[in-house]
Amino acid sequence: MTTASEPHPLPALRRDFLLGAALLAVAGVFVRALLFTPIEARQGAAQKILYVHATSAIVGLYLAFGLMAIASLLYLWLKDAKLDRVAESSAEVGLCYTTVVLATGPLWGKTIWGAWWTWDARLTATLFLWFIILAYLLLRGAVEERGRRARYAAVLGILASFLVPFIHLSVYLFRTLHPMPILLKPSAPSLPNEMLVTFLFSFAAFTLLFIALLRLRYRIATLRDYVDDREAERA
C-alpha cells in the first residue's frame, strides 16, 4: 500500500475509452465484412478471413515486432527502463496478433489449398517467429535481476526481428502457396473498391486495438515495476 508521500506512477483506475473504441471498431469490421462486403467469386465466403488474417499479420509482424526491435535497440543505448517496458509490451501484444494469424491461416488454407497446414516457407517462418517471441517472454520471467533481464531480452528481441523481413521476402525467395504482396499496390489494386474499403477499415481498427492494448500492457508493466521497487525498499 502506498503512502501519501509516495508518488504513484499510474493515474487512478478509470474506464479505458480507447480500448472500448478499438473493440467497437473491430466489431464494426466483422459486421461490415460479413454483411456489407461482397463474396469473392473464386474463394467464396472464406475470402472474408482476409480482413482479420492479413491485417493481424501487418500489425503484429511489422508494427508490433518492429516497435519491439526499435525499443530494444534504444534501450541498449540509453538504458531507459521505459524503453524496456515498451519492448516487452509490444512483444506480448504482437504475440497475440501472430497467434490470430496462425489460427486464421489454416481456416483459410483448408478452403483454398485443401489442407489445414503446409510447410510453406512463410507459414514455417511465422511459426518459428512465434516460438522465438514466446521464448523472449519466458526469458523475461526467468531472469530476476531487472537490468540483466532487460539486456538479455533486448538482444533476443532484436535477433527475432530479423525474421520479419525474411517472412516478407519469402514469397520472392521460395516457391510458396502465398500470393505476392500486391494487395495495396497503388498502380493496380487487387481488390474491388468495396473490399478495399473494408480492408482499410480493418487495418485501421486493428491498429487502434494494438495501440490500446499496448497502452494497457505498458501500464501493467509500470505498475509491476513500481510494486517491485517498493518491496525491494522494504526488504
Using the predicted structure, report yes or no on whether residue 230 has a pLDDT greater than 50.
yes
Residue 196 cell numbers, joined: 478495399
Lowest mean pLDDT, pick from 35-39, 167-171, 186-190 = 186-190
Q: What is the mean pLDDT of residues 75-101?
A: 98
pLDDT tens digits, residue range 102-136? 999 999 888 888 888 888 899 999 999 999 999 99
pLDDT level of residue 5 (50, 70, 90 thresholds)? very low
Distance of CA 54 to the CA centre of its chain: 12
Q: Is the pLDDT of residue 3 over 80?
A: no
CA distance 164 to 84: 20
Residue in the structure block whose three cell numbers are 501484444 = 93
Answer yes or no: pTM beyond 0.85. yes
Residue 4 has pLDDT above 50, yes or no: no
